[in-house]
Amino acid sequence: MVKEYTFKGKTQEELEKMPLSELSEILSAQARRKLKRGLSERHKQLLKKIEEFKTGKRKKPIKTHVRDMLILPQMFGAKVMVYNGKEFHPVEIKPEMTGHLLGEFALTRGDVKHKAPGVGATRGSKHTSAK
């Protein structure tokens, strides 16, 4: 049996039908403030493209640089390619992401894996077990 996802007591269907004014009341303070200020033109354009993707007018995933876009219920199921400064990272929007920002799912910094000690390293650090 699959457990149905709820966000603060609301099901996915209820969230999708809810107007932004009601949704902002159950989101975090940061998300509530972002919605209160209103969505910018970039955000509205992205929402329009996502709506086209969901209706089937658009087949390819949407490429975007808008990392500060708040994930809203209207975006569930869309595939978005978020730019991380170097490349576009694929993100499939799920109900669990509600209230987060797109940029949180396309990390800008990778793991640092050092090969060997650099020039000027101390004598003790040159004899490490990692070779």
Q: pLDDT for 94-124, tens place per residue?
A: 988 888 999 999 999 988 887 777 777 776 6
Q: Residue 113: its pLDDT value, please?
A: 81
Q: Residue 83: its pLDDT value, please?
A: 95
Q: Residue 43: its pLDDT value, please?
A: 93
Is there a domain that residue 119 lies in? Answer: no
Residue 53, token pair as written in the block: 């993707």
Is there a domain that residue 131 lies in? Answer: no
Q: Residue 7: its pLDDT value, please?
A: 84
Q: How far apart are CA 69 and CA 80, in angstroms?
A: 11
Range of the domain at 43: 6-108
**Taking all residues of the chain, what is their mean pLDDT, rounded to a whole number?**
86
Is there a domain that residue 22 lies in? Answer: yes
Q: What distances in angstroms separate CA 14 from CA 17, 19, 27, 28, one per listed residue?
A: 5, 10, 14, 18
Is there a domain that residue 88 lies in? Answer: yes
Of 80, 90, 75, 86, whose CA–CA distance to 109 is shortest? Answer: 86
Residue 82 pairs with which residues in a beta bridge? Answer: 64, 89
Contacts 24+ apart (CB under 8 A), 77-81: 78/50, 78/53, 78/54, 79/53, 80/50
For residue 18, the SS3 value is: coil
Average pLDDT rounded to a whole number, residues 40-46: 93
Is there a domain that residue 94 lies in? Answer: yes
Is there a domain that residue 78 lies in? Answer: yes
Q: Residue 131: its pLDDT value, please?
A: 52
Q: Residue 62: its pLDDT value, please?
A: 92
CATH number of the domain bearing residue 73: 3.30.860.10
Q: How many percent of the chain have pLDDT more than 70?
A: 93
Q: Residue 68: its pLDDT value, please?
A: 92
Is there a domain that residue 31 lies in? Answer: yes
Is there a domain that residue 130 lies in? Answer: no
Q: Residue 44: its pLDDT value, please?
A: 93
Q: How far apart are CA 73 and CA 99, in angstroms?
A: 9
pLDDT per residue as tens digits for the range 17-33:
888 888 888 888 998 99
pTM: 0.77
* Number of domains forming the structure of the chain: 1
* Cα 103 from chain centre: 5
